[in-house]
Amino acid sequence: MILIGLHLAIFLLYFERKGSALIQDRVGANRASITGLGKKFGIPNLGIVNTLLADPIKLFTKEDFVPAGADHFLHTLAPFVALFPVLITFVVIPFGDTITIGSRTFGLQAANLNAAALYLLATIGIGVYGVALGGWASNNRWALLGGIRATAQMISYEIAMGLAIIAIIMTYGTLDLQEMVRMQGGVWFGWLPRWGIFVEPIAFILLLTAGIAESKRVPFDLPEGESELILGYMIEYSGGKQAAFMLTDLAEQALIAMLLVTFFFGGWQVPWLYRDGFHLPGGLTIAVAPLLVSIAGIVAFLVKVVMVCIFMGLIRWTLPRFRYDQLMRLGWKILVPLGLANILITAFVVVVSGGAH
Amino acid sequence: MHTALFWFLAAVSVISALGVVLQRNPVHCLLSLIVTLLAIAVMFIGEGAIVVGFLQAIVYGGAIMVLFLFVIWLLNLGVEIGPTGHIALKFFGTLAVAAMTAELMAFMLPPHLEVKYAGHVAGYGSIDSLSQKLFSEYLVAFEVTSVLLLVAVIGAVALARRTSASEIAQNADDSARRAQGAS
């Protein structure tokens, strides 16, 4: 699962370079290639070698520099403190139902915790320290400013995120992510998939916003702010350690996308596909083998995650950066009250309808 | 929980707790405290008190310690240099600590405090059993605590406000009079 997360992060890196170029009408990375192989066959250079091979190799072979006066131990520790919580969060994401190969049945979730939603909040909360320490240990004013900004931003938006997740927990009546996804199977009115987004649209917007803020992407990239803080808390990092920080951001984005898919887009559920095959709205039934259903679930999960990632990319390349007071006002004066109101409404609906979901 | 795991976590939490007291850089002290809290959270989870463990990680590890970090940054606390305090103070302080340790040992070492492990009841440590208890048996205490916290928050905001409403009005009056006097 961690590997899927990392691959997604690499995909995002590629998308970051070429997708942004596409949106902003630029050419983007297109220089490196292996012996001009693509040119020989007339394939346009898509920049794959550039982004997936040349960039990482360049980063990892650079000198690992620790500035004078910096706290050497913490400076080294910080990128790992940042990366570790994100990676261990991937284990609770269900990426499929059970799969039966031969006579053995596997659950497609690396760790089936029954308090997974709490686990998420805990790991995301601890993720703040990497950035904060990176900023502090660098012995650099810009880095410290970036670190302080990142910390303030992340704990502010964590509250909005927590409130959104509370409403989701109330809706599904469980903390188990796999259970939540199972509940999203089936249809309403004979055609509409029972996805979370149709029940909790406000929570979706909250979690999307807070999630982008949490992963420190544009328009919430104040901690990095190239034009004002010259990369903020990362300013004194080079080589593999900076790569770890960048990977943290990308992996966090992939994680947020997975969470959104799990909570709101039915996780691995394919619309109208049940254990025994498709039951289309028109009453048409197509039988599908159980193994294929399991595989279709995994594929559907990945496709959904990639779609959400691309959507987040579109936001990233469309909106300008917030000003700091705007950021705080959005977090505390709009998202938090909205989250509280959403919890109240959800509680009311759950009580009136006499049960979860 | 596996015994080896318990000893490992116990060692981590005790060593890092010592680090909180013994280190001179406030940020290092704070980090040691975070390690202590997280080690204890993992212990809770290992003992089956899953919700309490995660709440410890979220509330103490993830939120309160970040605020401590902020306070340290904003107060700009430097590294404590050299010994502080009078020699007599240290002498009596050491004596008091030794006495305290001896007392605690006398109370806590076996056979006074034997490990009483009764086995888990069904649903022990899950969020269901916790919330059942909280919202039935301890409902009054729970609600009173939340009101108390709310009062504390409002009080903190009221104290932290630089100027009260009457002072703002007073300032406005003053500046208006000054403007009149100037004209």
Q: Domain segments of chain A: what residues?
A: 1-61, 68-352
DSSP bridge partners of A192: A188
Chain B residues touching A71 at Cβ < 8 A:
25, 27
Angle of helix A201-214 relative to helix A336-352, nearest 10 degrees? Answer: 150
pTM beyond 0.90: the answer is no
Contact call for A136 and B66, based on CB within 8 A:
no
Chain B residues touching A151 at Cβ < 8 A:
66, 69-70
Q: What string of DSSP letters covers chain B?
A: --HHHHHHHHHHHHHHHHHHHH-SSHHHHHHHHHHHHHHHHHHHHHTT-HHHHHHIIIIIIIIIHHHHHHHHHHHT-----S--S-HHHHHHHHHHHHHHHHHHHHHHSTTTS------PPTTTTSHHHHHHIIIIITHHHHHHHHHHHHHHHHHHHHHH-SS-HHHHHHHHHHHHHHHHHH-
Query: Considering Cα of B9, then B11, then B13, then B16, what sign does the dihedral take?
Result: negative
Identity of the residue in A71, A115, A155 whose CB atom sits nearest the CB atom of B54? A115
Question: What residue segments make up the domains of chain B, in order of their start?
Answer: 1-82, 138-183
Question: In this structure, which topology does domain B1-82 adopt according to CATH?
Answer: Four Helix Bundle (Hemerythrin (Met), subunit A) (1.20.120)
Q: Is B26 on the interface with A (CB under 8 A)?
A: no
Contact call for B126 and A115, based on CB within 8 A:
yes
Amino acid in the structure at residue A205: I
The predicted-structure confidence for A174-184, as pLDDT tens digits, reads as follows 777 877 787 77
Which residues 97-116 of A are in CB contact (within 8 Å) with B?
Answer: 113-115
* Nearest CA among A135, A84, A73, A139 for reference residue B19: A73
Q: Is A176 on the interface with B (CB under 8 A)?
A: no
ipTM of the complex: 0.70
Q: Is A143 on the interface with B (CB under 8 A)?
A: no
Which residues 80-119 of B are in CB contact (within 8 Å) with A?
Answer: none
- Which pLDDT value is given to residue B96? 93
**Is residue A199's pLDDT more than 60?**
yes
Q: Is B31 on the interface with A (CB under 8 A)?
A: yes
Which site among A126, A128, A166 would you substitute to test the B interface, given the most B Cβ atoms closer than 10 Å to its Cβ?
A126
Instruction: Give whichever of A132-146, A187-201, A317-331, B19-33 has the largest mean pLDDT.
Output: B19-33
How far apart, in whole angstroms, are the C-alpha atoms of residue A156 and residue B127? 25
The predicted-structure confidence for B126-174, as pLDDT tens digits, reads as follows 777 778 888 888 889 889 999 999 999 898 888 877 665 666 666 666 6
* Nearest CA among A173, A158, A170, A160 for reference residue A120: A158
